[in-house]
Amino acid sequence: AQSVTQLDSQVPVFEEAPVELRCNYSSSVSVYLFWYVQYPNQGLQLLLKYLSGSTLVKGINGFEAEFNKSQTSFHLRKPSVHISDTAEYFCAVSDHTGKLIFGQGTTLQVKP
Amino acid sequence: DVKVTQSSRYLVKRTGEKVFLECVQDMDHENMFWYRQDPGLGLRLIYFSYDVKMKEKGDIPEGYSVSREKKERFSLILESASTNQTSMYLCASSTKRDSPDTQYFGPGTRLTVL
């Protein structure tokens, strides 16, 4: 069975500082990995995804993530955050069926 | 742009009522999903559908049923609402079966059961 663990429930950071949101997964089959963002009072939208190919994936709003198969991780990074990045971030894993298994979520709080 | 709409942003119902949550997508997607979102638990899959009149149970189907009579519409039904079903409900759609593709989400319905 697949599962996803987001190691931090909340990450406070000052504006313009770098940030890393951690995600580890477990799966016995080929995996496809996603990061979604949820702004207050909105649905989820895709930040980036890894399906195959290069292990460094670039997404919207300056975010990127690296697929590390040996460490079963897919950490999300941004070199300099803005106030507008304050949101909840979800890591998710899928198998070939397209069903998603989500992590618990990480709240990113960007302080001025 | 893909658009997924949900019939209500906020709903308040009483224990024992039958509740319908509606979801419509406008991109001819084959797959549709219903999740509930609770703090600290992330999103959990309730039911999904790969085709009209087809449904499959997700991880937490108890107390829920679904209906998909048309390709664009996927309804979640709470036969007899209970207070432990107070939650945020999110609908999503994606292009085709057996494809690990992006899911597109609606804005959510926050349901309160009193």
A53 in contact with chain B, both atoms CB, cutoff 8 A: no
pLDDT tens per residue, range A16-65: 999 999 999 998 777 899 999 999 888 899 999 998 888 999 999 999 99
pLDDT tens per residue, range B47-102: 999 999 899 999 999 999 999 999 999 999 999 999 999 999 999 999 877 777 89
Nearest to A96 among B40, B42, B100 (CB): B100
Q: Which residues of B touch A98 (CB under 8 A)?
A: 31, 94, 96-101, 103
Nearest to A87 by CA among A22, A43, A30: A43
**SS3 for A60?**
helix
A34 in contact with chain B, both atoms CB, cutoff 8 A: yes
CB contact under 8 A, B97 and A49: no
